[in-house]
Structure 1
């Protein structure tokens, strides 16, 4: 996709945004002499390789500075990378690379971890389609762009293993990462509040976008089952054609309409007997039979829709769907058609910290004690190329 320029490449902006000690090192090099160096970039945890934002920006900077930089990616995009394994080797002028380290690392670590999270989620629910809905939770557009890129990388890796993966996202600007021309979405809770009823909100949407499929957000009034059935009965032809979906986004402080702890257990016993006896933590138990969008809630909605004759109406599940919740839903065989999620965003941000170390100065290999594992080995793979 053609990405917007997310960050300036001029020296003044780079100087202002990088760590001061790198800027001072650049000044020292200008006085005492330059030397070609090679950086090794790595993370301290397993990830998927997602280096494109870094390599694209580095190419732009190299072009702006009129220099040649060689960037060797050690893994294909989407490949699994072990903790501490160098993802990239970057070779070029020390004078022109030293002040880039801060910004380069910002573009690598979070994307690689988010890609790994997205990959695991897709494999956890391989028969469900995913929508990336993280935009509202990002700290600005640069992070939004990074997370959509990461989800698309993780998705493609999972699709190679048979998962359906991510099919789109919620904004137009980054839809191209998923091969789409526009984002997906129908209505927020605010539209239902404005309309005064779930049915009226659905009618307003359909009157305004008659050719679009309809996804009904069902929890505003706490009548997920009642309101969903009402909308399906209002548009039976769309329901029969598979053009209506029900989105479950029940608040974690209450049960889906008609459920309580006892009935939640009963629902699972009807559809997936034995699942409840395999849970291993209180969190897993909550995902199965607790409040909010539980496995029991999803099964309850499915059996109600089917009993009413709406077996082609799809179920969209949202609210806290991260790696662990996806795995629990898979164990419960929850009948989810689409997952709306932003929970592939790294939860423990310290895990996203990428690190760069220089491993050679000219022809001399050198690295600080304890980082010898970064030194080049003859057997290492390389997809090296000059980026500018």
Structure 2
């Protein structure tokens, strides 16, 4: 019983732990505040499960109606969390419509709950959650409507999972692409880990569906078996909160960097050609080649790539042009994005340092720093991505 109580409550305490930690953290930006709200909804969701396994049947019968809302709200809410990270700088209340299915089905469940007698409520719970034998034709209309509600719930849930994963992945991919076109170092800026979380969501929904098919009664008085879904959901919540806690750059920060560039660009426009003149020539192959040569001259010649925080806006200001023009030049002439293009020079410089016998006493950390990488971890990751081998493996080939 103690083991069952522990695993019943564990996901709830994971939500509570991270909610408190996020509230106490000094960097309480909008996405973090929203994540606290998401964890609160998750807490209520897991409270319903805990009430069942702790044999609080009356409480469970009531909370089950709220669980309908929380379960159908979590996926849309997480999608909007991604939206806050990648698009919206403030809450757009128009997005409340994504909670309409959860609200309406929960309201429908509550109406039936208050209309049902105690016997009807007991029949419904025994049939749905304890898998007791019985024909739906022998149940009252209210009980059958509740059973129908559970089927509608499953249909909506599956549709939500697919839509959130597909559209969430698209948002993250587009945002990461924008970052790679602006920063030469996207470490701790991009949202790749949130892509992994979306697929974890897909897996989590699979575990929930399997657990539902097995029935909650399957885990009663079997603490060792209850540990499996409990540990999984606790780990899942921990990962979601940990990723959010360590995500420092938001769309607001990104927009500030872009706005800073625009202000600097505006100050220089008096001495520069107009944007109209730039646009008239931006499809000229000759101009692309000229810009490409100028870019290489300043990035390689002046070793600007050794600046770990080099941005495309820095180059745009140096060349008296706009960043979108440089971005297109890199894309169409170098056939890559800005981040990968700069990292290629950094990797080549690192190889030169490792191959130079006079520099043989340099540590990998020093080589990474001199090549323009923010840290050793980033150096290892980028080096492996570009050369298909680690720096250590490369050194052995020399």
**TM-score (normalizing by structure 2):** 0.25
The structure that is strand-richer by fraction is 1
Higher relative contact order (CA 8 A, sep 6+): 1
Max Rg structure:
2
